[in-house]
Amino acid sequence: MSEEMFRIFQLAQQGFSCSQILLTLGLAAQGKENIDLIRAMSGLSGGLGFTGENCGALTGGACLLGLYAGRGAVDEQEHEHYQLMAAQLVDWFKEQVGTQYGGINCSDILGDDLQYKNVSMQCGTIVGDTYAKVKEILAGHGIMMDGTRT
């Protein structure tokens, strides 16, 4: 098991959701912590507040792309390929996860297990795969996980 997967399962055991785990990993790669941001990511947990809608790994992955390529200040511009990056992630997620589970909603993936409000083994794998895909997409557009751009 890779160090990243170990960290994903460790955070899941501590009760963090898919979206929270992804942003925790992304911030750590930059040498940062942001408790407020991680708390805000709980709004994506369980498919938008445990409603079973869009999977938190997908929405969290989109937020992770935004952390690295989005706009955060008046004098900043989002990366010129940010929207393309988001589309690449969504297309990949639909093909990989949506095909396997019959949809991209948390309820499609977890079914009746959604009621238990915790990250399952399948969720951990999806989070790991999503994190790897986000890293690949960012690198393909010249953005490294430490925040530097090539």
In a domain, 24, yes or no: yes
Q: Which secondary structure element, helix H or strand E, spans residue 46, and what is its range?
A: helix 45-48
Q: Could you give the CA distance from residue 111 to residue 125 in angstroms, rounded to a whole number?
A: 17
DSSP secondary structure string for all residues of 64-121: HHHHHHS--STT----TTHHHHHHHHHHHHIIIIIHHHTSSBHHHHHGGGGGG-S--H
Q: Could you give the CA distance from residue 109 to residue 140 in angstroms, rounded to a whole number?
A: 28
142: helix, strand or coil: coil
The answer, yes or no, to whether residue 114 has pLDDT greater than 80, is no
Share of the chain above pLDDT 70, in %: 95
In a domain, 84, yes or no: yes
- How many Cα neighbours within 13 Å face the side chain of 144? 6
Tokens of 53: 């809608």
Mean pLDDT value across residues 60-78: 95
In a domain, 73, yes or no: yes
How many residues can be counted in the chain? 150
pLDDT at 113: 72
In a domain, 148, yes or no: no
Tokens 């393309």 -> residue:
84
123: helix, strand or coil: helix
Q: What is the pLDDT of residues 1-42, one digit of tens each?
A: 689 999 999 999 898 999 999 999 999 999 999 999 999 999
At 110, the pLDDT band (50, 70, 90 cuts) reads confident
Q: What is the mean pLDDT of the chain?
A: 92
In a domain, 78, yes or no: yes
In a domain, 147, yes or no: no
- How many domains, in total, are found in the chain? 1
The closest alpha carbon to 57, from 15, 5, 22, belongs to 22
* Containing structural domain, residue 32: 3-140
Say if pTM beats, i.e. exceeds, 0.85. Answer: yes
